Structure 1
Amino acid sequence: MRRKEDIRFLTGQGQYTDDFDLPGQAHGVVLRSPHAHARIVSIDTSAARAAPGVLAVLTAAETREDGLGMIPLQVEIPSADPLFCPPRPILAEGRVRFVGDPVAFIVAETRAQAQDAAELVEIDYDPLPSITDTARAMDPDAPVIWDDQGRADNLCVLWDSGRGEETDAAFAHAARRVSLSFINQRLVGNPMEPRVAIGEWEAEAGRHVLHSPTQGVIRVRDSLAKFIFNVPMDRLRVISPDVGGGFGLRGKLFPESAMVLWAAKRLGRAVKWRSGRTETFLCDPHGRDQVTTAEMAFDDTAKAVGLRVRTDAAMGAYLMDFGPRIPTVAGARISGTVYDIQAVHQQVRCVFTNTASTDAYRGAGRPETAYVVERMLDMGAREFGIGRDEIRRRNYIRPDQIPYKNTAGNLIDSGHFAETQAMALDLAEWDSFADRRATSEAAGKKRGIGLGYFIEASGGQPFEWARVRIEAGRVKLHVGTFSHGQGHATAFAQIVSERLGLPFEAVDLVQGDTDTVQTGAGTGGSRSSQMGGVATLRASDLVMAKAKRLAAHLLEAGVEDVSFEDGQFRVAGTDLTTSWDQVMELSHAPPEGEAPGLDEQTIYRRDTECNFPNGCHVAEVEIDPETGAVTLARYAAVDDCGRLINPMLVHGQAHGAIMQGIGQALLEHARYDPESGQFLTATFQDYAMPRAADAPEFVLGFNIVPTPTNELGVKGAGEGGSCGAPPAIVSAVADALGIAHIDMPATPEKVWRVLAAG
């Protein structure tokens, strides 16, 4: 089934936030700190306020006057010591703590006037030492970012997974051990559509209205209402039209969203702000940025018996919504991944740095966890002198062990891991790799192959809402999830159409407006099909149940005798039938005991923590020894996403996630200058996003192992490639170079230096 959205998008008929201009709107520009760390000695806005077209120049002083709240942390992290969450107003007060920290919001009749006025704001800064290196953030001589809050170091929280004694015992009795230090480098998500926010103030209704791209409007509304404006939920409306990419970055409470709403109320007119691409680099939440040392212990058969992981994870200067959860609880849900290992001890120091905040980015902790385990198994294979494929076979959780309670206490409900690996190796033609290597060597090139296995804990919040309403022969499907490229309008329409026997083309998706979406947790964590899809299924079943009751009334039969077959309601054992048209007509004036209409809604609550999509990815690279350039020559993968509602959509999700994994493995690195704290990769001239030429044609397969945790049998599908590609590609590059490890990204310069060093 082809995506029903694509004609609209591909013919330029998409409607994104920046396509909208409201009557009488003004334009806002954010003045940002040029320093990584500095005291704000004084701010003089008089010249800017007097500039042509300027309507307002707002600073932290005005936020205090109007009683605006702080941007909150929205998660809790279990820890022996309390997590430190510093205060964060929407405009910096007293200090700036990263390059890009918002200091003032200038509103004018035009964007150009606001930009010109921003140049006239005079700020006296007293620069302070900064720290941007995650590995040095806890050094005794590192500058302390929050010393004005009584902090003596840059620690946010020390998280411990437990099982330390068990792990120590496993290491004490191990036959062999391996260890490695490595990084998961900082990344910028860079959705195709930069952030935009338009704020309105509806004076008569006494409510704020925000137009902005999100990954779910309910959570953004609730955060703004509760934490920033302290108003009831019905006094704030959030509308998200089409959204050009999310990757976990869109579901946050952003300062600029609050700024436009605040300014709109003060001015009595709409205010629009649009991010530039450099602002996206500087200020959107970044991903990853972890420095890790890991050790793995084995018995004499190469069976892993213990894993010890120590990580420093950068939070940035401030905590965002989920920040410290990502490298701790989120990643640890899949400790041990697909391998039968219980003695796992992880410690994570979440640390502050003078950088943009980190938060959920495609995979959100699972890619980092998979990378740790896969690198250690490659090290183990090297230690034992066995194949990287063989060491994994010896360690997989067996089918007869499932359901398997992992070291974090989560129950892995399904998966045939050794079988999935065998399928991937077959697709990749693993056994004939030696021939291809010989061909490359004859041409003066180096060739390597690698594999990586991952598992995810997907599902996000354990509830989701859907409403199915039939009106004038069409089905209006209201959902609490939010499609920003995944194809919900297609996949959910397939579920409704199959369940109700109505045309696929007659199903319309309604999303992205808190006036029409009652509740819902949005889209993130690969949750849409397994949560929104199941809610859609159940709401459809409720409509069908009512339709059968109405059909029974029309046919003068018992409800239990009415079935729906081939587009007709039929009384069993007879030729008595009625149609959907007749049932719809009766629904407007139904019999006693039935409410008018065919309109049902439900909240689906799952009774499990999450489910576990997984997959095996195999990469093959060729390296030019003269330049160090790495070419990804072949790529094969087999994923287990459970039952597939629409294979074409799943292929698309796999392609996108793999490309982002390729970006991390070979190209992308968000870098700050260690001395000045300046951001060095603030444009696409400095930051290498993957392009079509950076990847071969993907050879993809699926090992369909339905999950028993929901009636659709579906698992998450959107993030696997970002988990599987980095370890597979790094394994292949290391294999080509004949070394144990190379840190990401494996750029030509880095590879050339390895070759030059012999």
Structure 2
Amino acid sequence: MSVTEGSASPGTRTAPRYVGTSLPRKEDPALLTGRGSWTGDITPAGTLHLAMVRSPHPHARITGIDTAAARAHPGVTAVLTGADVDGEFLAGIPCGWPVTEDIKVPDHRPLATIEVNHVGDGVAVVLADSAAAARDAADLVEVDYETLPAVVDVADALVEGAPLVHDELGTNHCYTWPLATGDVDAAFAEADVVVSGQYLQQRLIPSPMEPRAVVCVPDPVGGGFTMYTATQVPHFVRDLLAAVTGIADTKIRVIAPDVGGGFGAKLNVYAEEYLALVLARRLNRPIKWTETRSEHHQATTHGRGQVQDVSVAATRDGRILGMKVELLADMGAYLQLLTPGIAVFGAFTFCGLYDFGSYSFTCRGAFTNLTPTDAYRGAGRSEAAYGHERIMDDLARALGMDAAEVRLRNLHPKFLEPRTVPSGVQYDSGDYEACMRAAMDLVGYPELRAEQQRRRDARDPVQIGIGIGNFTESGGLSPSKVAAGVRLQSGGWEQASVRMTTSGKVEVVTGTSPHGQGHETAWSQIVADRLGVHPDDVEVLHGDTLIAPFGRDTYGSRSLAVGGTAVHLAAGKVLDKAMLIAAHLLEADEKDLEFEGGRFRVAGTAGPSVTIQEVAGAASLAANLPDGMEPNLTADSAFDPPNFTWPFGTHICVTEVDVETGHTRIRRYVAVDDCGLVVNPTIVEGQLHGGIAQGIGQALYEHATFDAEGQPTAANLATYTVPSATDLPSFELEQRVTPSPTNPMGVKGIGESGAIGSSPAVVNAVIDAVSHLGVSHVDMPATPQAVWRAITAASRQTA
């Protein structure tokens, strides 16, 4: 499939000047000098501060709530329970991704009224003149609970007789979602070797630098509401608030100011946002809530949470014939916006970069009495890459082959047009072998294997391991009509407007809402090249549903591939109109014009010319325009992609593991990524740095743990280990470019790639370092204790 430019203008266009260059980020001066604008900084006059009263139990029935002492506390305006506010809502908190028709969706109220289902479940709110007074008064609310049995482990949840999270559902089973292509049973029957492994995706806590926060301000004149919220999805917030509260969406303005990281946790609409809106309506006062770190650990969605059973069938020479995947996905206590779809989303990339004939995938979702899970950077794709890269190493060990050689024998050949892969979807383009060999060359793969053998022969107490993380991901989320076989309840299109002012400056309105990705810079580069202006003359407006009423926001590596493409197309429409006006002003045929360096002239001549700024002025004055043409240089564009984009890469990690202590040090980390056309190389590097750090965090450090009763044992940053800069190596990065045919710029996306390729590369490297000692499996996080235990257990088996 080929994609052409969305603009049909016949004139010659300016060659790129800014796209592909590392312009400094426009966003950074304000952030680096403390002039950012955060939701937590916003406190309108008359604000009431909200504090949540949360359940200390994972599962309990509410038998009584005494609010008298809290209401008497100085500065308190109101104390409200779930029963007090339930009538404000038309419905409970909705799930936006029901993956099957028979999925079980429990009722999820912003405040629990009868039963709490996880530690941190909200049962009451306190409103006071200060945040401190509200928190102090919240401690005075006395709630009587009748504790109930809790189910903590997702595997236990589906055992007959397990405690039920929601009695009314009659089961903890949420859904079963299957996919199959080819004859999987025949592939396994004819295989020379079958290898199986069970891999755990532990729960993760997103931990952005800025916690969640919301301020809702009633408009005393128009009767509407302005909500400031630290979110990735202001348009989703507006639309779901309207649906749940009955307030018209035209009366709800949502603004996402500067947002200090999201990582998927802010791709949601939470109880606190619904409560802030209805309480602002009820009390006619601004309402403000800012999350504490302990609340973040208890009541903001967690990431991951899967048990993966993966099997591959292969020939003696390492050719894969088929793959089977059985997933058990932990929903937690409720279904948030995307909860059930996250694991299902991985179905389409569990086959990775590998070409084989038969594939089956089944995912079962189950409820537990834990915090709900939802999107986390690389959602679904990271889990899939971990599964297929772990099984590739297990296959290599079973065959006595090198881990790289097994992968190279199974890669798809180079393709520049869409290619159907084992999961049944079409990847857009790829050159996987070239990417993988580039990473091997960069890291010095043969030399590392030789060093590894020398250390083993010498019985060095510090052994080295080499781990490979090949991956692809479905970026550019997503086509509106169908998302790779899973229907979403919101379209994947994106909207943009580009307008030139009378003075010739450019204003861009984008429906994407950044939280650190650098949209203002990248979008300015795209528009500057299209319109022949300087990026400093382009202003990008975003994150405000009044200014940008249409948009689908930022997640799923979609911003550039969908939102940036919409900007590109809108700028092309502006240029088309400018070409017609320029031709009129120059008394020439537009087919004869060329556009170079922001100036129109008849091609091949040194005659009269006109700048695009002069054209913009003429369009605004409208005194000398072609007949029938409307004034002003402005255009809208909505881009609805025909397919996902499929960024890919090879990450290689080199570890040093002390076999006496289990301590792991990352000696080198190499990554070669292909995200299609690169707009700003520095931004790409920054996205990769952050993503790789998160993947390393999952591989070696992070785990949201609970005791057998469902109490969190990593309830704050003192007990939940997040890696610091001193724990990370320098990253050696290279980029290759295989343009995507699904959009006119050939871009693919990069925001999640680092988090997808890194965790399998690191864990494979840890296991590889000690595999000669009999270790073939270590679960994440591969802490020194976990590695030491694996070494000790292996030595006992061989003794």
Same fold by TM-score, threshold 0.5 exceeded? yes
Q: Do the aligned partners of 1:220 and 1:251 also contact (CA within 8 Å) in 2?
A: no
Distance 1:396 1:321 in 2: 35
CA distance in 2, matches of 1:268, 1:2: 44
Q: Please report how far the alpha carbon of residue 97 of structure 1 lies from its aligned counterpart in structure 2 after TM superposition.
A: 0.3
Matched, 1:582 2:597: no
Determine if the alignment matches structure 1 residue 725 to structure 2 residue 758: yes
Query: In 2, distance between residues paired with 1:755 and 1:605?
Result: 52
Residues 414-442 of structure 1 deviation map (CA, whole Å, 9 limit, x = unaligned):
11111111001111111101454346967
- 1:365 alignment counterpart: 380
2:18 counterpart residue number? none
Aligned to 2:640: 605
Could you tell me which of 539, 557, 560 is aligned with 1:526? 557
For 1:144 and 1:344, the matched residues in 2 are separated by 33
Map of 1:114-513 to 2, 5 A cutoff? 114-147=134-167, 149-151=168-170, 153-163=171-181, 166-226=183-243, 228-328=244-344, 330-399=345-414, 403-437=418-452, 438=454, 444-462=461-479, 463-471=493-501, 472-513=503-544
| Superposed displacement of residue 480, structure 1 | 0.4
Greater shift in the superposed pair: 594-603 or 316-325: 594-603
Work out the CA distance in 1 between the residues paired with 2:778 and 2:507: 52
**2:774 equivalent to 1:741:** no
Name the residue aligned to 1:42: 64
Distance in 2 separating the partners of 1:105 and 1:342: 56
Which residue is 2:727 aligned to?
694
Normalising to structure 2: TM-score of the pair? 0.92
Q: Secondary structure at the match of 2:470?
A: strand
Q: Deviation of residue 568 (structure 1)?
A: 1.6
Tell me the distance in 2 between the aligned counterparts of 1:521 and 1:17: 21
Gaps of 5+ in 2: 1-22, 480-492
Amino acid at match of 1:251: L
> Separation in 1 of the partners of 2:59 and 2:699?
31
CA–CA separation in structure 2 for the residues paired with 1:373 and 1:458: 18
* Cα separation, 2, equivalents of 1:185 and 1:359: 13
**In the aligned structure 2, how far is the partner of 1:109 from the partner of 1:387?**
65
CA displacement at 1:68 relative to structure 2 = 4.3
In structure 1, the residue corresponding to 2:218 is in which secondary structure?
strand
Cα distance change, pair 400–513 in 1 and its aligned pair in 2 (3 A):
closer
- The 1:67/1:285 distance shift into structure 2, 3 A limit, reads closer
Mapped partners of 2:495, 2:115: distance in 1: 42
Query: How far apart are 1:255 and its partner, in Å?
Result: 0.5
Greater CA drift, 413-422 or 566-575 = 566-575
Q: Structure 1 stretch 238-247 or stretch 334-343: which is displaced more?
A: 334-343
How far apart, CA to CA, are the structure 1 residues paired with 2:611 and 2:316? 69
Identity %: 41
Query: Is residue 116 of structure 2 the alignment partner of residue 83 of structure 1?
Result: no
The one-letter code matched in structure 2 to 1:64 is D
2:687 is equivalent to residue 653 of structure 1: yes
Tell me by how many angstroms 1:386 deviates: 0.7
Is 1:517–2:548 an aligned residue pair? Answer: yes
Which residue pairs with 2:713 in the alignment?
680
Give the corresponding residue for 2:16.
none
Q: Any conservation in 1 of the 2:100–2:175 contact (CA below 8 Å)?
A: no
Aligned-partner Cα distance in 2 for 1:120–1:639: 54
C-alpha separation in 1, matches of 2:402 and 2:307: 27
Give the conservation status (yes or no) of the 8 Å contact 2:475–2:558.
Answer: yes
Tell whether the 8 Å contact from 1:336 to 1:342 is kept in structure 2 after alignment.
Answer: no
Per the normalisation by structure 1, the TM-score is 0.96
CA RMSD of aligned residues (A): 1.6
CA contact (8 A) 1:420 1:638 kept: yes
> Distance between the aligned counterparts of 1:745 and 1:112, measured in 2?
37
- 3-state DSSP of counterpart to 2:582: helix
CA contact (8 A) 1:334 1:406 kept: no
Quote the residue 2:787 is aligned against: 751
Q: CA separation in 2, counterparts of 1:552 and 1:306?
A: 60
* 2:664 corresponding residue in structure 1: 630
One of 688, 701, 704 as aligned partner of 2:737? 704
Amino acid in the other structure paired with 2:211: P
Displacement after TM superposition at 1:232 (Å):
2.2
Shift of 1:570: 0.9
Deviates further, 37-46 or 466-475: 466-475
Paired residue for 2:42, among 17, 20, 26?
20
1:173-227 per-residue CA deviation (whole Å, 9 max, x = no partner) reads 111111111201110111110001001122432222210011131111111111x
Amino acid at match of 1:728: A
Taking the aligned partners of 2:449 and 2:269, their CA distance within structure 1 comes to: 51
Counterpart AA for 1:42: G
Does the Cα contact within 8 Å between 1:69 and 1:230 map onto a contact in 2? Answer: no
**Match of 1:703, as an amino acid?**
R
TM-aligned CA deviation for residue 150 of structure 1: 4.0
Query: Aligned residue for 1:71?
Result: 93
For residues 326 and 52 of structure 2, the distance between their equivalents in structure 1, rounded to whole angstroms, comes to: 38
For 1:482 and 1:361, locate their aligned partners in 2 and report how far apart those are by CA, in whole Å: 17
Q: What is the Cα deviation at residue 401 of structure 1? A: 9.5
Q: Of 651, 654, 658, which residue of structure 2 is paired with 1:617?
A: 651
Equivalent of 2:590, from 559, 576, 597?
559
In 2, distance between residues paired with 1:180 and 1:235? 53
Aligned-residue offset at 1:721: 1.5
CA distance in 2 between counterparts of 1:401 and 1:175 reads: 33
